[in-house]
């Protein structure tokens, strides 16, 4: 594997995510942060399905980014159209060893090498219905608060950040 992972010992890998998926995720997180979007990993949707990354833009737009670490990983996934119903834009993200042409033209496409990432194809916009957006925003807000409280009760400091809500 020519990619040398900067996060070999990432403590967040919980068994569901492969090391390579974590490398892709890290690059995408950095890209989104640079774009001013805040991003929450592993969000359970109302369907019970778990989105790899959910991004919230400054304006409240919700994007879902699904990470595919191999051709096989993409091929076995029959569920991705569902993600379009739960986002304003939907992207696949992968790394340079996975052929870009296997991913559907009608989805956004992000290439990530772990240090950074680039949007190679923008995603078409399919605006969420107001009720869906409201429910999803509540899920994101509640998930974030729940994780932070669990961390705090476990003695881990996760302080507020300057400008975090701007």
Q: Is 126 in the site for a copy of itself (CB under 8 A)?
A: no
Residues 6+ apart with CB under 8 A from 127: 88
Quote the least distance from Cβ 55 to a copy of itself, whole Å: 8
Residues 6+ apart with CB under 8 A from 22: 5, 7, 10, 12, 13
Q: Is 14 in the site for a copy of itself (CB under 8 A)?
A: yes
Residue list 31-50, contact with a copy of itself (CB under 8 A): 33, 38-44, 50
Residue list 60-89, contact with a copy of itself (CB under 8 A): 60
User: Which CB atom, from 2 or from 159, has the smaller least distance to a copy of itself?
Assistant: 159
CB 92 within 8 A of CB 111: no
Structure tokens at 150: 């669990």
Tell me how long the chain is. 166
Residues of the shown chain interacting with a copy of itself in the complex, contacts defined by CB under 8 A: 10-12, 14, 29, 33, 38-44, 50, 56, 60, 134, 137-153, 155-161, 164-165
């Amino acid at each position: 594997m020519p990619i040398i992972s900067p996060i070999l010992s990432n403590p967040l890998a919980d068994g569901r995510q492969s090391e390579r998926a974590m490398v892709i995720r890290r690059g995408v997180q950095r890209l989104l942060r640079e774009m001013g979007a805040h991003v929450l990993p592993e969000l359970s949707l109302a369907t019970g399905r778990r989105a790899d990354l959910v991004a919230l833009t400054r304006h409240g737009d919700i994007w879902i980014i699904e990470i595919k670490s191999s051709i096989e990983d993409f091929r076995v996934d029959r569920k991705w159209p569902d993600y379009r119903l739960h986002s304003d834009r939907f992207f696949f993200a992968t790394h340079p060893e996975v052929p870009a042409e296997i991913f559907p033209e009608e989805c956004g496409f992000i290439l990530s090498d772990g240090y950074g990432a680039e949007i190679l194809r923008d995603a078409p916009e399919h605006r969420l219905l107001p009720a869906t957006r409201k429910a999803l925003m509540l899920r994101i807000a509640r998930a974030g608060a729940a994780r932070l409280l669990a961390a705090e009760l476990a003695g881990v400091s996760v302080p507020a950040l300057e400008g975090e809500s701007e």
